[in-house]
Amino acid sequence: MFKKILIANRGEIACRVIRTARKMGIATVAVYSDADALSPHVKMADEAVRLGPPPAAESYLLADAIVEACKTTGAEAVHPGYGFLSERESFAKALKEAGIAFIGPPANAIAAMGDKIESKKLAKAAGVNVVPGFLGEIADTEEAVTIAGGIGYPVMMKASAGGGGKGMRLAWSEQDVREGFEATKREGLASFGDDRVFIEKFIESPRHIEIQLLGDQHGNIVYLNERECSIQRRHQKVVEEAPSPFVTPEMRKAMGEQAVALARAVGYYSAGTVELIVSGADTTGQGFYFLEMNTRLQVEHPVTEEITGLDLVEQMIRVAAGEKLGFTQDEVKLNGWSMESRVYAEDPYRNFLPSTGRLTRYNPPKESRSDTAVIRVDTGVEEGGEVSMFYDPMIAKLVTWAPTREAAIDLQIGAIDSYEIAGVGTNLDFLSALSQHERFRSGNITTGFIAEEYPEGFHGAPESPAAAQAVAAVAAAITRADAVRSLHVDGQLGTPLEAGSHWVVRIDGEEHEVELEADSAEVDGQSVSLSLGYRPGATLVEAEVDGQPVMLRIARKRNFMTVNTAGRARKVQVMAPRVAALRRHMIDKIPPDMSKYLVSPMPGLLTRLLVKQGDTVEAGQPLATVEAMKMENMLRAEKSAVVAKVAAGEGESLAIDQVILEFE
């Protein structure tokens, strides 16, 4: 067994690998860019080596620097995590030439499966179902249009070396191909150094299901059941689970055996995942097709660990050290149900735009493990750390396990509501709303779920009278508690005042009358029981209203508070009746008219500016491209106008809401 390994990655996956290595008694070496010098993975490791400046191309993608770090520290093996160099054939070869073990598959398998065009040919030869499409190289946009028309719309354009939702475009028409083909090539080149693109038929109402594989260097390969990864936004997974509510034992066996056949055809060992697109309308269980094989550990591997009882990182390390698998296919367990939600630094109320900044508060749910419930948080950040524009916006993975799917989802809801993050926007409300959604809970999901259920964007979970009543009661109670504390401050003049029991609570513009009693409250004339544990100034409030647990995250502003609970953000003002009466006479502030400006919807880099001063633009016309978190975002004109002023130039770093163009 290895005595020391280097983790060629950052963030939560680096921390995850370090935890397992520590459990196995293996020393660890972290690598870092200047942006990550104080990150948790650097502090956790036994040693750390600086790679370079923040951009990945100048740090985490420098294979030679990582090989040199191994030689300097005496690391015998490298775990690549996911992303960065994890699927680079050249990196695996460089390590082998240097006499350093790669904790992953052989280089030839990475090469065979890393090329999406060649991998589909290999899959077809191995007897694996493949999606109809064009697997040759495409010269230009005109050829792409011809090919797409021949296959039949809709089609998916994919960068051959792509992954993680990057370098993908769905085209419903010839215009979509013309607009998206070159962008797909650019994303592939920028992210993976390969601008080849292939086109395949897009299967409507699809489910995304993947098979986890594990093999050793002695020819043993097993499949560790499946994961359902259909809840996606822009082809980026948001919620994953294991097993799938759609897959039958017969389907699982057929999918697993095809996946193993493919792995065996390329001499695969270590952990890997075969991704399948499955027709949800096909009740025969035969409508599944090979998408790609990820020759690395997946982000969502924890749900497989929870239902099988295996530590996949440990298994990868043991396989790399030459050990045989300690179990057979018949011994693979499938116990209970596990869910994983990806906590991202993004604002779901602003079309999920990336959010960067410093974590002024970071308090994840308390981890716990028992025979009936598991709450697990895989994270790579800490309070005071910074979420930068250089890397993926994922903050953490929230994983739950329970004997049933419904119980695992309920654990997610409770854990999400108890998560405290401040300083950056997060998708916590969206994750909570997803977990509560009736269609999601039924298991009737496809990769189009988010687009279908939130066609106008996300505005919070649906409001209910009971939820509004609970928020009103708790908000009044904590305001009264704050008032009582204030009255006990020494040195106040005049006759001591009393904190009242009658309050008016304004929630998103709607007023509620609240009368507080010792252990109850009357809200709009209706009595509810109320108990809460609260200390003045707390930002997380746990209460019970009419016997139902309620968890509220409180962010105090000047004269109001933002209350997040059960997947919805609410603007709440709690006032004494006299103040509320005066408030009704106040004129609401009208927001400024920004229709004359094109502003950056997120922090990012202005990579392309397509117009100049004096140009006339039409509604829907592309104006600029802003790159953030390694994704291109096209900004378009909302109406016909003339460009009066250009306020930013290509290559400029933009702040959120920074003006790019001004119109006449």
Tell me which residues are annotated as active site.
292
CA-to-CA distance for 191 and 298, rounded, in angstroms? 18
Strand (E) positions, 446-560?
A: 502-507, 510-516, 520-523, 526-533, 540-545, 548-556
Query: 324: helix, coil or strand?
Result: coil
CA-to-CA distance for 144 and 184, rounded, in angstroms? 12
Query: 426: helix, coil or strand?
Result: coil
- What radius of gyration do the chain's Cα atoms show? 27
CA-to-CA distance for 583 and 591, rounded, in angstroms? 19
CA 50 vs. chain centroid, Å, equals 27
Strand (E) positions, 12-94?
A: 27-33, 47-52, 77-79
CA-to-CA distance for 114 and 45, rounded, in angstroms? 30
CA-to-CA distance for 249 and 347, rounded, in angstroms? 39
Phi-psi region of 407 (alpha: psi -120 to 50; beta: other; left: phi over 0): alpha
CA-to-CA distance for 289 and 295, rounded, in angstroms? 18
Q: CB of 3 within 8 A of CB of 20?
A: no
Which ranges in 400-464 belong to alpha helices (H)?
405-417, 428-436, 438-442, 449-453
Q: CB of 458 within 8 A of CB of 426?
A: no
- Number of neighbours of residue 307 by Cβ within 10 angstroms: 22
Q: CB of 356 within 8 A of CB of 424?
A: yes
Kindly compute the dihedral angle of the four CA atoms of residues 400, 406, 412, 415, in this order, to the nearest 10 degrees: -100
CA-to-CA distance for 123 and 113, rounded, in angstroms? 9
Which ranges in 225-367 belong to alpha helices (H)?
249-265, 301-308, 312-320
Copy the structure tokens of residue 341. 């939600």
